[in-house]
Amino acid sequence: MNEHKNDSHEMQMDHSQMDHSHMDHSHMNHDQMMDMGGGHHDHGGDDMMMHGDHMMHMGNLKQKFWVSLILTIPVIIMSPMMGMRLPFQITFLPWSDYLVAIIGTIIFFYGGKPFFTGARGELSEKKPAMMTLITMGISVAYLYSIYAVIANDILHVTPMVTDFFWELATLIDIMLLGHWIEMDTVMNAGSAVDSLAKLLPDKAHKLVNGKPEDVAIKDLQVGDQVQVRAGEQVPADGKIVSGTTSVNESLVTGEAQQVTKQPDDEVVGGSVNGDGTFVMKVTGTGETGYLAKVMDLVNSAQQHKSAKENMADKVAGYLFYAAVTVALVAFVTWLLVDNLAVALSVAVTVLVIACPHALGLAVPLVIARTTSIAAHHGLLIRNRNAMEQVNQINYALMDKTGTLTEGNFKVNKYDTVSASLSADQVLTIMASLEDGSSHPLARGILTAAKEQKLNWSAATNVQQLTGAGLSGEVDGKQYTLVSAAYLDKQKLQYDKQQFDQLASAGNSISYLISGDQVLGFVAQGDQIKPNAKHLIDSLLAQNITPVMLTGDNDQSARNVAKQLGITEVKAQLRPEDKEKVVAQYQSEGNHVIMIGDGVNDAPSLARADIGIAMGAGTNVAIDSADIVLVKSDPNDVVAFLDLARRSTRKMTENLWWGAGYNIITIPLAAGILAPIGFMLNPMVGAAIMSLSTIIVAINALSLRI
């Protein structure tokens, strides 16, 4: 491998993390919401939904909504609303009560099943929230309505309120609609762990009696010897037994430079072998190797984050306790001052009025609007709960390559130091030597030559000079492309002051020599993204401290950080190191954003309060993140922060509207003003409920960025 490509002193600007062009982003999706509309992919008939920290089977939510809605039509026509008959309702059918009861029972058990499952999960953790509140409302409405039908039509005793089938059906419809909207606006979850597993090849060339035989990766055992050929992925963690090569370990460091490997050097499963072939001894398999440890980190971080409650669940939890308390107090009070029938009716009315019609739509409608606006601006929201954390963020940790820099080397300067060659002739010879190579530095030289419209032909007799560089013949003359370290070792003269100046600017410098004469040089560096500076300035203006976390060397990292205005830099980090840094900031009471794009960023993206992945990054990073920036533009982080703050404000406003209805009507339904002769008219309660739902919808649609 070219010495000028390996020398750590030269590699002062980090390389692209991977060849991103082949990455498929069609899977970008939500790590909590699983295909509620049934249109994305098959889950064996069981769609999944995360609510109240519980993953529950939802069946086909879309189908449940439409079936329940159709069944609701005859209920609306024949059943009273809060005990009041509407002008259009049918009252002359003698069997209408029984028909409504049958239909209501179907809606209750069929449409309400997802909420029963969710409530059971919430109560098992002693955290009643939205699902418990909904379940309480529809259960009380159903049981009392059945009692009302029996009392009225069989026992011929007229209860205070005839039935609540109208409320039961409409509440289930609205809740199913709200959750369908919430699920359908966020795409399906991919698994970061699955993506990590795909980094390993399917088979390995195991040496059996000295000859390579293809075996499945799962059949490899510690101690096996495996042959790894040029261009292949390393099948497991191991130690090189024979052969010399170079390996791309970007999944570990985030930087794509080729690392020279010799006997006794360790290699990581999933890294990409270069041009050489080597034999390695397996030291860690798919279950015990490095990638397995990264998988464990991602899993652990995601589970840590999933314990956070969202605002709607918190409000619903408060309302649950408030409604139950008020209902019990009202029941006992009315039992003492009147009779059992009145006390029961008042308590039931309180619990039914507590049904979160507006509350159930408060957040989903804002999420639907937010997701639509975000998609228009190139943002994919995979975890909406993360948006509620924005106002608390005070640190933004970010990767360098692919996040703040382009990840592509570009020739910043090339020149001749020989009177016999022009600068373009030097670049042409370099292009001839590098023709056909896919290394980032080689691509930079070839791209520059194309931009200058130079004509070259591939060199002949090209050889990789171990510990030196690259040599070959161009037009019958021998040339070598090497690093400054090689020139120092061979005691060849070159402009060291010029080298220091170019290197301090973050360039990697390669020299063209023939024999013992230096003919010219090329300086290449990774390019800072155009909007990276604006991102840092915006974060600082919002009192958010930017911190660079990178696998690159400290000198290169600090050079980029200085240009951007970042004062805190942590370099030469492995994936587990980055995750530990995020956890450390959080343990000190900070709230953290992590921005990255590579495999080495996955654990820290999952651990952070908000993980933001560049859309041009790896599948593993995308699957670990809460937000995906489709255009990989750093400025989109600023757009996300703005949208998240506006969205959170709308959610808060809607929750106040939704909860405000309950705060007012629950005490009135309990009879708090009965001493002055006022009891809440059920029709008025229903009207207020409808009005609050409309207000919530209009407020959500008014969201702008």
- Could you give the residue numbers annotated as active site? 399
Whole-angstrom Cα distance, residue 687 to residue 697? 16
b/e string for 437-449 if b means 16 or more Cβ within 10 A? bebbbbbbbbbbb
CB proximity list for 459: less than 8 A, separation 6 or greater: 432, 433, 435, 472, 473, 474, 479
CB proximity list for 395: less than 8 A, separation 6 or greater: 544, 545, 547, 585, 590, 591, 592, 593
CB proximity list for 67: less than 8 A, separation 6 or greater: 110, 111
Question: Which two three-digit tokens encode residue 133?
Answer: 């509140």
Question: Which two three-digit tokens encode residue 201?
Answer: 């090849």
Whole-angstrom Cα distance, residue 362 to residue 182? 11
Question: Which two three-digit tokens encode residue 408?
Answer: 């592509």
DSSP state of 673: T
Question: Which two three-digit tokens encode residue 382?
Answer: 């995979």
Question: Which two three-digit tokens encode residue 293?
Answer: 């440890």
Q: Quick one: CA dihedral 8, 12, 17, 20, positive or negative?
A: negative
C-beta of residue 516 within 8 angstroms of C-beta of residue 492: yes
End-to-end CA distance of the chain, in Å? 50
Per-residue CA distances from 444 to 372, 473, 510 (Å): 39, 21, 12
Whole-angstrom Cα distance, residue 572 to residue 249? 13
Whole-angstrom Cα distance, residue 705 to residue 378? 13
Whole-angstrom Cα distance, residue 495 to residue 512? 13
